[in-house]
Amino acid sequence: MTKPLKIAIAGLGTVGGGIVKMVQKHGALLEKRAGKAIEITAVSARSRGKDRGVDLSGYAWEDNPVALSQRDDVDLVIEVMGGEDGPAKACVETALQNGKHVVTANKAMLALHGQSMAEMAENSGVALRYEAAVAGGIPIVKALTEGLAGNGITRVMGVMNGTCNYILTEMERTGAAYADVLKDAQALGYAEADPSVDVGGIDAAHKLSLLSSVAFGTKVDFASVQIEGIERVSLADIKNARDMGFSIKLLGVSRMNADGLEQRMQPCLVPANSPLGQLDGVSNMVVVDGDFIGQTVYQGPGAGEGPTASAILGDVMDIARGLVIPVFGQPAAGLSNSEASRAGSDAAYYLRFSLQDQAGVLATLATILGNFGVSINRMHQYSHGGQSAPLVIVTHATSRTALDQALAEISALPASLAAPIALRIETL
């Protein structure tokens, strides 16, 4: 008789409770698909007496998640506590050291410690899976490590944070200001009381760093991701972009350039009629370009009980079937120390300036851009009252280094009333 796969769950919040529900509801189906039973044997959380809406009476309880990882009746530990260090890290490392498989949704932990954990897992001959850590319910890690494994990946990009996508699409749909939409997102549970990790681009950048490693065979390098949040995107920018046929998205882009790995998480303009441009609400989308397959697109819910639990159980099922592959698609010891690309890739940019309405200012601005090799594609000065003259410029493709130098000089002009806004226009 085939032995069951015995699992333990560290963390019984929304996601942990969702995993329990799925196993309890679909136990027979999971057994048929995996060829063996999937059994929860033990759980751990901070509060033993809290009502979580699921029956936990049949499972052993450990107050300490590290003790959970040391139990003899556990083959696989699911970590859904969160936190880049502390108990979550200790729980995962203990499990791997004790020869137990691990499935986690913890992108922050892996973005900082993924390389050492991958080496630990592979040295122990166990799996470390993390589909739920990247783009929620979208099986993008599996696509990169398995379905697209025969391709050289040339670019990975996508919308990887549902909170930001909700805010930007609601601003465009309703005409409400950023602060008002953020409050609505918090009321709906889409944004935390402190939303800085989401709206600042950090959460999505964690995810991008993991996808970069899988796509390009490099060690996880979160520190090299260029991060810019959505806080400075205004209604004026959204309207201007729409008038030009674009939508603004918090977009992660990763590609390998001649001088190293380019990783960016920043607001960008994308064609409004493209799959990314039409992505609404809290959904996520990842676009992958491969040298043989071309472009593939993956869309789905990026967070929540059901999608995250679904992704976790998908990893559990692969392990139950005996699939143990390198954590980042190739042996961790062979992942390269890629240099961060300094030059990046050239692109057109949307620029918005707030300038004093006085003679000669536009000529001075155009001269400064020209001095740094930044060519103007089109320019529009919007109607205004008072002394401020809003100006929008779209450039031809240029390097970000040259553009930043030009913008720094423009910002120093006495006629400049606010720091310019520069948003990359990403081609699909």
Question: In this predicted model, what pLDDT tens digit does every residue of 328-381 receive, in sequence order?
Answer: 999 999 999 988 998 889 999 999 999 888 888 889 999 999 999 999 999 988
Q: Write the DSSP symbol of residue 132.
A: G
Is there a catalytic annotation at residue 207?
A: yes
The predicted pLDDT at position 2 comes to 86
Does 55 have pLDDT greater than 80?
yes
Out of 107, 142, 207, 249, pick the active-site residue: 207
The predicted pLDDT at position 221 comes to 96
The predicted pLDDT at position 389 comes to 75
The predicted pLDDT at position 386 comes to 61
Look up residue 399 and give its two tokens.
């390097």
Helix (H/G/I), strand (E/B), else coil: 259: coil
Helix (H/G/I), strand (E/B), else coil: 172: helix
Architecture of the domain defined by 348-425: 2-Layer Sandwich (3.30)
- Neighbouring C-alpha atoms within 13 Å toward the C-beta of 416: 16
Q: What is the CATH number of domain 5-104?
A: 3.40.50.720
Does 276 have pLDDT greater than 70?
yes
Question: In this predicted model, what pLDDT tens digit does every residue of 99-129 receive, in sequence order?
Answer: 999 999 999 999 999 999 999 999 999 999 9
Question: In this predicted model, what pLDDT tens digit does every residue of 9-37 receive, in sequence order?
Answer: 999 999 999 999 999 999 999 999 999 99
Question: In this predicted model, what pLDDT tens digit does every residue of 252-264 receive, in sequence order?
Answer: 999 999 999 999 9
- How far is Cα 289 from Cα 98, in angstroms, rounded to an integer? 38
The predicted pLDDT at position 215 comes to 98
Question: In this predicted model, what pLDDT tens digit does every residue of 219-247 receive, in sequence order?
Answer: 999 999 999 999 999 999 999 999 999 99
The predicted pLDDT at position 383 comes to 64
Closest CA to 136 of 107, 109, 175, 98: 107
pLDDT band at 191 (very low <50, low <70, confident <90, very high): confident
Describe the crossing of helices 14-34 and 305-320 by its angle, rounded to 10 degrees.
Answer: 40
Does 382 have pLDDT greater than 90?
no
Closest CA to 353 of 331, 384, 321, 320: 384
Q: Specify the fold of 140-299.
A: Dihydrodipicolinate Reductase; domain 2 (3.30.360)
SS3 for 293-325 is CEEEEEEEECCCHHHHHHHHHHHHHHHHCCCCC
pLDDT band at 174 (very low <50, low <70, confident <90, very high): very high
Does 1 have pLDDT greater than 60?
no
Contact 95, 69 (CB under 8 A): yes
Q: What is the mean pLDDT of residues 156-166?
A: 96
- How far is Cα 113 from Cα 332, in angstroms, rounded to an integer? 12
Instruction: Report domain extents, the chain.
Output: 5-104, 140-299, 348-425
Burial of 358 (0-12, 13-18, 19+ CB in 10 A): exposed
- Window from 62-76, 91-105, 388-402 with minimum mean pLDDT: 388-402
Question: In this predicted model, what pLDDT tens digit does every residue of 192-221 receive, in sequence order?
Answer: 889 999 999 999 999 999 999 999 999 999
